[in-house]
Amino acid sequence: MTTRRRFTGEFKARVALEALRGDKTVQEIAGQHKVHPNQVSTWKRQAVAGLSEVFSNGADRERQDHDTEVRDLHAKIGQLTVERDFLAKGLKR
């Protein structure tokens, strides 16, 4: 039984960057690093897809975190209001 190899993020980035440069073919890069050519192509595609996050200023992520927090707090307020009303009705009896 063979075990799967695990590659570090640094190794994947190095291979993807080499593929993005275009100096060598995917086949040459795969042979040099002893990985399958499909894996090199996948890492290259992932690098291109994640490139926009590298250059974002973080404002979008902060805005999403803020919106999520506000939504959670509104849900908690609604829950506490329902509980308060339920207990208030019980005290009136």
pLDDT tens profile 1-55: 888 899 999 999 999 999 999 999 999 999 999 999 999 999 999 999 988 877 7
Same domain, 65 and 48: no
- In which domain, by residue range, is 46 found? 1-55
Same domain assignment for residues 62 and 26: no
Residue 74, pLDDT above cutoff 90? yes
How many domains does the chain contain in total? 2
- Same domain (yes/no): 93, 80: yes
What pTM did the predictor assign? 0.59
What is the domain-level CATH number for residue 2?
1.10.10
Residues 25, 11, single domain; the answer is yes
The full 3-state SS of the chain, as one line of letters, equals: CCCCCCCCHHHHHHHHHHHHHCCCCHHHHHHHHCCCHHHHHHHHHHHHHHHHHHHCCCHHHHHHHHHHHHHHHHHHHHHHHHHHHHHHHHHHC
pLDDT at 84 > cutoff 90: yes
What is the structure's pLDDT at 61?
Answer: 75
